[in-house]
């Protein structure tokens, strides 16, 4: 019976080590993907998208800021 008990302890200990390594590697991979998206993909999409498509969105944001500012003056 002690051999079976030792086997269970070994399996549990190794699973915890694998889990810890997976969490660390997953966090590093998430950081890498985030960096690639912000440094490469976003500028490429901005360059490929005509400014005329982005202008209405900026206009809406500006209108909201002006509206909020006018409300705060009252």
pLDDT of residue 74: 60
How does residue 24 score in pLDDT terms, banded at 50, 70 and 90? very high
Residue 51 has what pLDDT? 62
Domain that holds residue 48: 2-73
Number of domains in the chain: 1
**Exposed/middle/buried for residue 55 (C-beta within 10 Å: 0-12, 13-18, 19+):** exposed
The pLDDT confidence band at residue 25, using thresholds 50, 70 and 90, is very high
- pTM score of the predicted model: 0.43
Q: 44-71 pLDDT, tens per residue?
A: 777 777 666 656 666 677 777 887 888 8
């Amino acid at each position: 019976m002690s051999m079976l008990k030792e086997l269970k302890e070994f399996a549990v200990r190794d699973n915890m080590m694998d889990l810890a390594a997976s969490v660390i590697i997953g966090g590093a991979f998430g950081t890498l993907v985030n960096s690639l998206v912000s440094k490469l993909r976003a500028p490429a999409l901005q360059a490929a998208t005509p400014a005329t498509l982005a202008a209405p969105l900026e206009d809406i944001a500006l209108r909201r800021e002006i509206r909020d500012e006018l409300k705060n003056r009252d």
